[in-house]
Every structure is written in C-alpha cells, then in structure tokens.
Structure 1
Amino acid sequence: MATSDSREVVIEATPEEILDVIADVEATPDWSPQYQKAVILESYPDGRPKQVEMTVKAAGLTDVMVIEYTWSDDGVTWTLVKSGQLKAQDAGYTLTPEGAATKVRFDMKIDLSIPMPGFLLKRTLKGGMETATDGLRKQVLKVKKGS
C-alpha cells in the first residue's frame, strides 16, 4: 500500500540556489542522515544528474536504489528505477518565489515491498520529510553563506 506525505518550508534563497543544492546529490549525505552514499550514473547535457544510485538507511534497513530526476525551472521530481526495499517512490520539490525567499513544497509517495508496522513507517517518513525540508533549508543557507 502506498503512503504519501507533503511538507512546506520557506528558504531565504532563490529557486536557482535551492535547485543547485539539490543537484549536488553527492553532497546529500552531508545534510541528510538517511543517505549514506550517492553516485551519479548519468547526467543531462546541462550537468544536472539524471540517474543516481543512492544508498539509504532508514528504519534499520539499508537499501541501494536507483532514481531518475526530471528538472524544471520551478522544481525537480524523481521516480524510482530500482530498489530492494521499495516497489515505488515518487517525490519532488515545487519552488514558488516569494519576494527574496522561496516557498518549497516537498511531496513524496512510497510503496514498500516489505511489510513494516504503520507507526514505524510514519515515524520514518516524518524524519525523511523533516530532512527534505528543514535539512535542505539549513544546507542552502550554509552554501549561500560560504559563497
């Protein structure tokens, strides 16, 4: 059975600055504790990642998955290509400029291929949603400050 969630955060940065941080997938383990490793398998002509192999650890399970990104000016989405623990995963960020900041909406839908107690799935998904929004915000501000 598929489970989905969404969360919003406002980040004091432009959509382009935010997308640049998301596109730096190899740095994702630095700000997202669930991600152990990310390797770009294929890139688009503009250099943004197309297919990425990620090692993810959540709820005591480690999974190696391949995801494929689709980029636009106002966001990015990705879909699962293969995984050992998931039947499906569709996720993405939608970015809406708000003055000097950007409203960031993160949506994710997953379908596990293994049984997991509902409370554990909800807790794991909540942690992932917090990292995908608050963790992204912290990383964007850190990168902005350093540049």
Structure 2
Amino acid sequence: MKKCCIFVIVTLSLCATFAQAEQVGSVDTVFKLFGPDHKIVVEAFDDPDIKNVTCYISRAKTGGIKGGLGLAEDTSDAAISCQQVGAIELADNIKQGGDKGTVVFQKRTSLVFKKLQVVRFYDAKRNALIYLSYSDKVVDGSPKNAISAVPIIPWGNR
C-alpha cells in the first residue's frame, strides 16, 4: 500500500511539470461506421517554463471502436509550430546553456507504451528556442519528428 501511494504521488508530480494542451479543432480523415472517425487534432499549449511562448501541435488520432475506448495506438505523425506571443524573459539557467533538452509536453498515444513528446532546446548563439516533437515507444521509437524555432525578439516598449 505504501509503495502504491508513493508511485501515485511521484507520477502526479511528474505530470504536473508538463504543459497541458487544449484542443483547438479537428478534422475527420476517415469515416468509421462504429466509433469515432479517424481525425487530425490541433492542440495548443503554453511552455510551462517560459512565459509568452505558445505551441500548436497537429497529430493523428485513431478512431473506430478501439480508438473510442482508448485502446488504439495513434500513428507517429505530428507537426508543431511555436510562436512568441509576448515579451520573453529567460531564466538564468536557460541563458547559461543549462537547457540541453527539457521535455515541456507529453501526450499518451497508446494505452501504455507510446507517447508524443515535445522537447525544448535553447540556442544561445542565435538567441532562439527550438521545440522538437517526436513519438517514442518503450521498445522501438519512431524517427518521425517535427521542429519549430522561436527567435527571441524585443517585444513592445522594451
């Protein structure tokens, strides 16, 4: 019982460090007679560590009976676009090159073993944030990936 409680607390604390996405819209790609249609879903999330950066992800969502029950495995197809939406102030650890790859978003894309992730990098030489989206699996990941760069530019009256 004690081990179970510790596992739940650790799991919840890990989940809290990632951004939560909100669905912006979707389009159906394949009609399914039973269960929801296959679709492409567009979701938005804000970088949890850097204020005023918003990313949009489009990803495949499997429908049908298995998809409706949450048992289907989504494909590894995804695209990402990130933008600066206000003044950006980087924390000192990021400015000093401490951001060698930080996971800022995760979404489960199968019942257990597969997830879509977004990792943020900081390119100090070009003063830009880079967001890499990819899908991984416990045993065999996918090389499919997408990237978006956000140049940090002065905003407003600065």
* TM-score, with structure 1 as normaliser: 0.35
Give 1 or 2 for the bigger CA radius of gyration: 2
The structure showing larger relative contact order (alpha-carbon pairs under 8 Å, at least 6 residues apart) is: 1
Q: What TM-score, normalized to structure 2?
A: 0.33
Choose between structure 1 and 2: higher strand proportion.
1
Structure that is richer in helix per residue: 1
